[in-house]
Every structure is written in structure tokens, then in C-alpha cells.
Amino acid sequence: MSARHQPITYAGRHWLVLVILFLSLGLLAARAGFLQVVDTDYLKAQGDARYLRVVHTPPTRGMIIDRNGQPLAVSTPVDSVWAHPGTLLEQGHSWRKLARTLKMSPAQIKKLCRKNRKREFTYLKRHLPPETSKRVMSLKIPGVDLVREYRRYYPAGPYTGHVLGFTNIDDEGQEGIELAYNAHLSGVAGKTRVLKDRLGHIVERVERIQPVINGGDLSISLDARIQFLAHRYLKAAVHRHQAKSASVVVLDAKTGEVLAMVNEPSFNPNNRDDIRGSRFRNRAVTDVFEPGSTIKPFTIAMALESGRFGPDTRVDTTPGHLMIGRHRVRDVKDYGLLTVSRVIVKSSNVGAAKIALEFEPQRLFVALKLLGFGDATGLGLPGEVAGSLPERRRWRPIEQATLAFGYGLSATPLQLARAYAVLANDGILLPLSITPVRGPVVGERVMGRTIARQMRQMLEKSVSDHGTGRAARVDRYRVAGKTGTVHKVTESGYAEDRYMSVFAGMAPVSDPRLVMVVVVNDPQGENYYGGEVAAPVFSKVMAGALRFLNLPPDHHPEPMQQANASGAGA
């Protein structure tokens, strides 16, 4: 065998391995030196990618307060439980204790961890009571920790639910004012770069990238005292009359501010199980109805402004009904010969129809349009509808007649209140506001001052002993208003035994400050007239509101009346 074909000896192989080993170590050392000295950014980037994270610090959502500084919505700090899925998967023996504390099942925990096993963070349970958070941490389970969040709390609960709305679990506005003013209330989350260990725990806060900007507080125009009172008496009326639903709106006639807005059935925004679409709808701005006889004052105002009618002009309503083609317009009874003022006092459909038919149909349409019917109020609450005021190329006489007493158009309770505020404010239509108004308010004149005052006088008689709204009176205050009892529309037409009971009015008449509309949907039983169902609610709420605002009484009984009252009491 030749020398060149002889196998490598053991010593040769030994030196070959040593040479390869030293070469490898040299290459590794050179690479390490290069990374440590020359290309240091690479290692830093790799380390940062594994352990540096940007965490968000949630801002505190701004408070919502009423016009007197009463808190209506606040955000309170709470703890949420999170886990490092990979680590918790290795702690199967602890799942049962953890699940029992969180009121979950071990299977739920296992499913969450497996679903998110490639992530470093997953929520197990959010917004826990403090005692539950303490019990979780006392278990000392690897991979489980707490994170601070905020939960919205509403001190007034169901009393303000429909107006304020609510937030979701991430503290974002979903309905009502919470949604309408979400950008103002939310604020901006802070950002901080932190160093975390392999379990996701923060080891060191490296730098603050962006500071937390907390949400701004919001003052709204509601008066919590009036809101509470309206809720109390409206709920009692719904229960007493077994009604389907109801709404109350209270406005400041001088500024257009909404002082109260209540709906029944209500809901408690603190109880997320109670939040259902059918309950959190703000009916005062989303639900429409035909206003019925509460439109008659505007029909009469239109007639007075024409100059062809005055408060004492006579209208013959005999024999208590009016045939218009094949259609019949009826009154409760034959009122005979009435003055225009008495048409309001007795709420005569025949009288209102006869007056309206004396004019071109477009004239009444324009008068109602100027009052805001058919247009949304622009209050800014989510879901507000515009109602309807149909403009026809050709009006049939029956359409013109029924429009005169409130059929054929639809409005929300808020729209009706805005229209009555025109009568209270001497003919000026004011923009409505859900936030406090600062300084003078500029409105639009849509009715003559004299006409508005004449209508207030008529509406005051409507709540006298001879009117339909006597149950709306308030002790020691002059009240003006109008009842409405409207047949509801069903699939087969107007129902004979289903009604909307309405009262719209204002006080004190000498210098109106408050306007209120009460709407009760589908009251059951023998009492269903607006004067029997809605007017008493108006009386109770208005009495309390006038007292809360320290408005002086403007009704002073004559001395003889006082003497008679004293004698009767004796």
C-alpha cells in the first residue's frame, strides 16, 4: 500500500478535531466580539423585541354633573384579572381554585389559555370587586396578575338612565350623553415603554412616551331634583293606569334648557344585565305620536294672527258633529255656540275644524312648520327623530280639518314641549340645549307677542273648573295648559279603545318659566283621558319644580274666597 493511501492515524485525527474546534471557537468569539463591540444595535433590538413593551395607561373618564354640581356619572378604579396563557396552562392543578374564585369553570380557563397561548396577555375576568381581587392574588398562581381599569358608576341609577346612556366594559360611550359627548369625556390613554419578564410582569418602567390626558368633566342642564320627582310620579302613574310606557319633558322657557327628561319603563345603567334595547330607548326623543288636542292652541293662534278671528269670535258647533264629505268630526257632546276661547276650554274638535277650514290649507301647515314640527330639535341626543308634518300638493278638506286638532302629523314629546315654549316665551322659538346656557339666548320670532299672551290666557281657562285640564292646577300658582286624548293607530286603523293621554302646559302664567309635557301611552281601565291620566302628573311634578327653583307664587285668592275657605275649614 502506497504512503499516500495510508489511513490517518489516531494522532492525526486528534489534531484535526482540535484545529476544527479552535477554528469554531475563534469564529464564535469573533462573532460575539463583532456583535458586542461593532454591531451592538442588533442584540439590543433582539432583547427589546423579547422584553420591552409599550403599555397603555387608561385615562379617567370625565364626570357628568347636573346644573347644581350633583355627580350623575363617575368612573371608579377597579381591578381586572389577566393571565400569561402559556404559564397558566402549566398550572392545571390551580385552575379549580382560580375558577371558583372568579365564578368560572376550569374548562373556561383552559379554553381561554389555549385560544391565546401564543399571546402574552389575556383577560380572565374584568371589573372585579376589591375583595375578589384580593382573593385572586392570595392564591399566588404563577402567570396570574391584576391590571387597573375604570368602571362607570351612575349614582342616580334609573332616574337618569335614558338621558345619560351608558358605557361598555372598555368605558366607551354607547348611548345617550355618554355617546354624544364621548370624545370630550374619554380623554387620551398614556403610553409607557416598560421592561417585562417572561411571565409578562413589569420589571422596570423605561420611559414615558405619552402622558395620560384624563377626560373632561361635563355639566349638563338637568336638575337632578326635578328629574327624580318626574321619575317618581311618572312611574306611579304608569303603575296606576297599567300603561305601556310614558314620558315627561321639562324645559326652562327662558333659556331652552332641558331640566328633566324621564321615560318609563326605566333601566338601571349600573346593572349590565338590565341593559336591553327595548328599555334604554329614550322615548322622549325617539318615539312619535299624534299630538291630538294639544295642537288646537296653535290652530287658534294661526286664526288670531290672521285678524279674522278674535278670542270672543263665536263659532257654532251645533249639533256636536260636523260632516266633511263622508267623514264625521265629533265632539264629546253638543257644545252649541262657543267663543274661540271656549273652543280651547271645551276642547271642541268641531270648533277647531270649522276655524281651520276658513283658511287655505297651507296656512296651518306653515304655522306648524314654524313651530318646529317636522324637524328634529337639534338637541344632540342619539336617536332623535324629526316626526312628520306632511306637505301635500292638494289638501283634502278632511285632512285639513283633522290637522287642526292634531291628527295627521306626528311629534316627539320634546318637539311638543318646544312648541309650547313658544307660547310661554311670547312667541320666540328658542334652540334647545342639554348643557347649561351661559349668557343671553337668541331665538326666532314665529308668533306675535300679543297672540302668545292671548293663547296663555285661553290655556289658563282650560285648567279652570270648567276646562278639561283642571287636574293640572298647582296650589298658589297660575297654570296654563291643554289636554289631549288621542286614539292610537293600529294595523287596522285608529283603535276605538286604545289611547295616548297627553298634557302640555306651563307655569307660572304671569311670567312663564317652566314648560312641561306628559305623555302616557295606552292607559288601561275607565280613566284614559289626558285630563285624568297625564294632568295629575303635571300638577305634582310642576309643584315640586316651582318650589325647587324658588319661583314666587302668582295666584292670590280674593279675600272673599279666603274667608269662605276659612269658614269651610272650620
Which positions are annotated as active-site residues? 293
DSSP string, 263-308: EES---TT-GGG--HHHH--HHHH--B--GGGGHHHHHHHHHHHTS
Question: In the 8-state DSSP scheme, what is residue 224?
Answer: H
Identity at 212, one-letter amino acid code: V
- In the block, cell 379549580 appears at 96
Q: Tell me the HSE value of 256 on the side-chain side, using a 13 A CA sphere.
A: 21
| CA diameter of the chain | 152
475 phi and psi angles, rounded to 5 deg: -55, 130
Q: Tell me how far the alpha carbon of residue 398 is from its chain's centroid.
A: 38
| 3-class secondary structure per residue, 459-485 | HHHHCCCCCCCHHHCECCECCEEEEEE
Instruction: Report the C-alpha gap between 321 and 328 in whole angstroms.
Output: 7
> What counts of helices (H) and strands (E) characterise the chain?
21, 21
- 336 grid coordinates: 252649541
- 93 grid coordinates: 392543578
Q: Return the number of other C-beta atoms located less than 10 Å from residue 192's C-beta.
A: 18
- C-beta separation of 209 from 96 below 8 A: no
- C-beta separation of 367 from 302 below 8 A: yes
DSSP helix/strand/coil, 361: helix
Instruction: Report the C-alpha gap between 524 and 187 in whole angstroms.
Output: 48
CB-based burial of residue 284 (10 Å sphere; 0-12 exposed, 13-18 middle, 19+ buried)?
A: buried
- Residues 6 or more apart whose Cβ sits within 8 Å of residue 521: 243, 244, 245, 246, 289, 500
Instruction: Report the C-alpha gap between 142 and 94 in whole angstroms.
Output: 9
* Ranges of H-type helices in 324-482: 340-346, 349-356, 361-370, 397-404, 413-424, 449-462
Distance between start and end Cα atoms, the chain? 149
- C-beta separation of 231 from 159 below 8 A: yes
- C-beta separation of 143 from 95 below 8 A: no
- 265 grid coordinates: 319603563
Instruction: Report the C-alpha gap between 423 and 370 in whole angstroms.
Output: 13
Identity at 51, one-letter amino acid code: Y
